[in-house]
Amino acid sequence: MTRAGDARLRAAREGDTGAFEALYRSSVAQVYGACRRLTRDDAQAEDATQRAYLRAWERLDDYRGDGSFTAWVRRIAVHLLIDERRRTWREPLCADEQIFEAVPAAPRRSSAAAVDLERAVRSLPDGARQVFALHDIEGFTHAEIAELLGVSIGTTKTQLFRARRALRSWLT
């Protein structure tokens, strides 16, 4: 974290909401982006983002600074979102058989490659998208993902394999 970021963090820990707003402004795009990769529902992504910052405010003293503040809030948001989905979903989050049965038409690559990449990731079926986002973007291990999603490690590996294969075929 930068010196200015450190100062904001100290001030926020003292209860300065203005400093916390500055931390929010500098990180919200990444936090919301992470949520949006895990759910296609924008309202749900916004809700998880809001709750993640509220929890971060409550637990600022727990943040040790061994990673970036943004990464810390992102992880909180991801956990909140997955917990929420586990509570509300009745069926397994990513059964092998469901995958790629209804893959949408491949998004085309253009000059705005990053935008297309995001679109391609969001086009993946739920299970594959979640495993891919958690593993390749958020840095969770297969064991962590398996526990989070309530599936086997074999399933998360299969989902990741299929997600990568689809992205390769779409984007290269």
Partner 1 sequence: MSDRPDETELPHDLQAALQHASERGSEPGRDLWPAIEVQLRPRAARRPFAIAASILLALLLGLSWRLVQSSTGAVPSDELAAVASSDTELFEALTRHRAESERLLRLVDQALASHPQQVGSEVRNSLDAMQAALAKLEQALVEEPGAPQLASRLAGLYEQHLRVLEGLDGRLQGRGSLPRSDP
Give which of 69, 58, 54, 53 is closest to 7, Cα–Cα.
Answer: 69
Q: Are 125 and 38 in contact (CB under 8 A)?
A: no
Query: Is position 20 an interface residue for partner 1 (rule: CB under 8 A)?
Result: yes
Closer by beta carbon to partner 1, 46 or else 83: 46
Site for partner 1 in 110-149 (CB under 8 A): 113-114, 117-118, 121, 136-137
Cα distances (Å, whole numbers) of residue 69 to 12, 57, 73, 84:
12, 12, 6, 23
Closer by beta carbon to partner 1, 62 or else 90: 62
Q: How far is CA 47 from the centre of its chain?
A: 13
Closer by beta carbon to partner 1, 37 or else 85: 37
Site for partner 1 in 35-94 (CB under 8 A): 36, 42, 45-46, 49-50, 53-54, 57-58, 60-61
Closer by beta carbon to partner 1, 45 or else 93: 45
Least spacing, CB of residue 32 vs partner 1, in Å: 5
Least spacing, CB of residue 136 vs partner 1, in Å: 7
| Integer Cα distance of 129 and 162 in angstroms | 10
Residues 6+ apart with CB under 8 A from 11: 18, 19
Burial 37-46 (b: 16+ CB within 10 A, else e): bbbeeeebbe
Binding site for partner 1 (CB under 8 A): 12-15, 17, 20-21, 24-25, 28-34, 36, 42, 45-46, 49-50, 53-54, 57-58, 60-61, 113-114, 117-118, 121, 136-137, 153-154, 157-158, 160-161, 164-165, 167-168, 171-172
